[in-house]
Structure 1
């Protein structure tokens, strides 16, 4: 099915704004899908300049898709720089709220599905903990490689988490006033200093509390609060979204209808997937994308309620 794309600016009251790429098919089936990227990356994880990726694929299946770039990513301003910074709490309270409102306004719907990659899923879950009223607007979710704490121990974890993310990255952040991930070739996009510092705190500490005001996200979700969520983890992902750490994040999110699926040959896929290629590899079109869409379609008409674990 053919689709059209359009670009939209979503202003934020505290400054700057989000960039939203809208994929609008000729004939729309079902609810819109809002896509949220992870740390040191942008919405490009969901769509390439050549028209490949999850977002165009979903549009060809008849779903309207809205891909968000957080402030400071791609065309969303302001750019990370010394003296220009936003915290994770501002993403959780301001940016996610504005993105949801824009998605529903553009689509004319009252609910949507959310698909989030990596740290983006942590931010969305935190938003639902702080602003439970948003739950009624989200029919279902798919989290790709989402974890908060990294507790596995292996060489990949020691390199990417201990040495780079918690060691070298804070040094670079203090020197530059922001995290220059693009220059260092650690990621596709730079990160605000405060946002990176907040994420390091969450990766390191057992308690899931806000660094600014102490809000306890795990306690807020302990009685439920997430919509039906499919958690996907790559069998080959050794550090950034290890299946065991993804499983621990599921427990942190409290009781909710969910499924955890490991993406690899022994689980029926054509290859063993890692952290990024579950979205970017050509084989993901057949191995991964249909699973995500099927989950959303299965929960299209679910009533809003607190679901028990399944």
Structure 2
């Protein structure tokens, strides 16, 4: 693979004009994890005619999803919005999602692998290309992965200018999973499956590896915790000093606001903001899990707040939707 980087092999596999945007697609082969077959697709968006790239921001999709969550074929989404505002936008696709091929041990992929190996590699490459630290934005599982990387010490102030978590939580209790027979049965059944089908479950266009489900069973089981056996991510979050924004939505029944707030409160960051998208806070609707970022309402009301956060590391002072921390 002819490399576009001095860090590890990187190939520019596509360079296209998409309306008013320039779309470059890279494929990274970091060779930093036990599975040497891992390759990661990274889409870079910029504005045609822009003399210099702006501040870099990396977007991480959630489960059963891919880059199209941020960037539709018609050039609509938070990714194009930020690119048109002058940011250097990078959209990552996790192992086996979208343009990222399935690695050899795909079924065993876990958040721990994304946080320990993939995010640091993506961050290093973007910083190399942009010449400065990137901002990070994650939705759902993407936000959980960001929290894991921060709490685990894999992303710090040298690798992240800020992090923003949308609809992300790790504390929801599933009491049956704390019963050993239920947990054992769950692991036994999951290990007989190759993948969890997003289309079959009507959750999204992508599949997810069984490794993620087994990892979640351990987190939510008896004496479980958010972390690895040798690294307590939850405890590590209290030491994080990267500026953090957490956004929840009142209509999100998958990751409800009080649980998103609990994850946010665990961060030790001095610069931090929490936002709940609900009518009581002045929004036009109680946004849902996906609608908080992908909807006409989000385009009008949420995207400008994201832009303000990236530019100022704060929400607008006049915004009544900001909840005091």
Q: 2:172 aligns with which of 147, 150, 169?
A: 150
* Contact kept? 2:156, 2:240, Cα under 8 Å: no
SS in 1 for 2:285: coil
SS in 2 for 1:279: coil
Deviation at 1:120, TM superposition (A): 1.2
Q: Look at both structures and tell me which one has the larger radius of gyration over its CA atoms.
A: 2
* Contact kept? 2:271, 2:313, Cα under 8 Å: no
Residue 110 (structure 1) aligned with residue 110 (structure 2): no
Report what 1:303 is aligned to: none
Q: 1:61 aligns with which of 69, 73, 85?
A: 85
Deviation at 1:174, TM superposition (A): 3.4
Q: 1:74 aligns with which of 73, 78, 98?
A: 98
Q: Deviations over 1:73-92 (max 9, x none)?
A: 011111698x7432221111
Deviation at 1:226, TM superposition (A): 4.2
Residue 241 (structure 1) aligned with residue 258 (structure 2): no
Q: Deviations over 1:35-85 (max 9, x none)?
A: 01122222221111221110011111111100000001011111698x743
Residue 36 (structure 1) aligned with residue 50 (structure 2): no
Residue 126 (structure 1) aligned with residue 142 (structure 2): no
Residue 99 (structure 1) aligned with residue 122 (structure 2): yes
Q: 2:39 aligns with which of 6, 9, 17?
A: 17
Q: What are structure 2's unaligned runs of at least 5 residues?
A: 1-18, 177-182, 315-323
SS in 1 for 2:201: coil
Residue 182 (structure 1) aligned with residue 199 (structure 2): yes
SS in 2 for 1:283: helix
Deviation at 1:278, TM superposition (A): 0.9
Separation of aligned partners in 2, 1:32 and 1:265? 32
* Contact kept? 1:169, 1:179, Cα under 8 Å: no
Residue 231 (structure 1) aligned with residue 254 (structure 2): no
Residue 260 (structure 1) aligned with residue 266 (structure 2): no
Separation of aligned partners in 2, 1:176 and 1:99? 30
Residue 47 (structure 1) aligned with residue 65 (structure 2): no
- Across the aligned residues of Structure 1 and Structure 2, the Cα RMSD in angstroms comes to 2.9
Report what 2:112 is aligned to: 89
Higher helix share: 1
Residue 8 (structure 1) aligned with residue 26 (structure 2): yes
Report what 2:284 is aligned to: 270
Separation of aligned partners in 1, 2:40 and 2:268? 29
Deviation at 1:206, TM superposition (A): 6.9
Report what 2:213 is aligned to: 196
Relative to the length of structure 2, the TM-score reads 0.78
Higher relative contact order (CA closer than 8 Å, sequence separation 6+): 1
* Contact kept? 1:132, 1:225, Cα under 8 Å: no
SS in 2 for 1:277: coil
Separation of aligned partners in 2, 1:216 and 1:253? 13
SS in 1 for 2:200: coil
